Amino acid sequence: MGTGRGIADITPLTLLDFPNKVACIFWLRGCNLFCQYCYNVSLVRGTDSPAGDRTDYLDFLRDRVGFLDGVVLSGGECTLCPDLIPICRNIRQLGFAVKIDTNGTRPGVVKTLVEEGLCDYIALDYKAPEKLFGSITGRPDLFPCFTQTLDYLINRNFPFEVRTTIHSGLLGEKEINQISGDLTSRGYRGTYYLQNFFNTEETLGQIGAPERMIDLSLLNTHIPIGLRNFPITEKAPGSSSGKRQPSPLT
């Protein structure tokens, strides 16, 4: 039985982070990437939650049966959690849907979650094209692991989305188009979500706000593009509305 080891905190309610679900978020500590724009610094470094793990997560969920539909497991990188599989089993037994937020660098864990029916939806972070993956994440060696996860989910036809955090000082229109083209060539047919950099007081790379916004008119439209955390006046290429997309917490 999962003890909750690695669950640093719980967000009791979100209407934005699990498509078509009323959900909560379990924040799991630790990460194997060190993305310059990441603002979950304490989770990545493991300096959060001096009170320890949220071992009461099942009591929390039992109190919300009939109110919440699902649980988002985020981080950090949740697939590093030693209790992830039993935690998902416990969540499932209570009747909740499960969404996984992951950088995709542990394909074996993702495969286990999918093939054992322990999750319903995955948000997969495509950090950067291969040539920039190391400079942005600090781990160039893990790009092949990410692509293994991406190809597996595409071939499995599992419900998932691909998303990229955009800071124009790190990724520009050329790089976004490279990612979009790669997704197209691999057979991805879902929406590709661009998440605008969320400027906070502290990030892993100590970077501030970008000097400019990316020019959305320069992006190709091989696949549908959705926007998150962009100004309400911005409109995704090929869309019929400039309506702002929900802003994620990760």
Q: Name 30's Cβ contacts closer than 8 Å, sequence gap at least 6.
A: 6, 43, 44, 46, 75, 76, 77, 80, 81
pLDDT of residue 239: 57
b or e along 74-112 (b: 16 or more beta carbons within 10 Å of the residue's beta carbon)?
bbbbbbbbebbbbbbebbbeeebbbbbbbbbbbbebbeb
Please give the Cα distance from 235 to 228 (Å, whole number). Answer: 11
Q: Residue 225 is encoded by which pair of tokens?
A: 């593009």
Cα angle value 109/204/99 (rounded, 5°): 30
**What was the pLDDT predicted at 211?**
75
pLDDT value of residue 245: 37
The mean pLDDT of 120-127, rounded to a whole number, is 98
**What mean pLDDT do residues 66-93 have?**
95
Phi, psi of 122 (to 5 degrees): -130, 135
pLDDT digits (tens, 9 = 90+) for 32-51: 998 888 877 777 777 665 55
Amino acid at 43: L
What are the φ/ψ torsions at residue 121 (nearest 5 degrees)?
Answer: -155, 145
pLDDT of 235 reads: 76
The answer to whether residue 68 scores a pLDDT higher than 70 is: yes
Q: Give 238's pLDDT tier (boundaries 50, 70, 90).
A: low
- Please give the pLDDT value at position 205: 62
Lowest mean pLDDT among 73-82, 103-112, 191-200: 191-200
Query: Would you place residue 159 in the very low, low, confident or very high pLDDT band (cuts 50, 70, 90)?
Result: very high
The predicted model scores a pTM of: 0.90
> What would the two tokens of residue 91 be?
């969540």
CA dist., res. 155 & res. 149, Å (int): 10
Record: fold of 7-228: TIM Barrel (3.20.20)
Helix (H) or strand (E) holding 160: strand 160-166
Share of the chain above pLDDT 70, in %: 88
Q: What share of the chain is helix, strand, coil (3-state, %, to 5)?
A: 30, 20, 50
Q: Which residues contact 188 (CB under 8 A, 6 or more apart)?
A: 150, 154, 162, 223
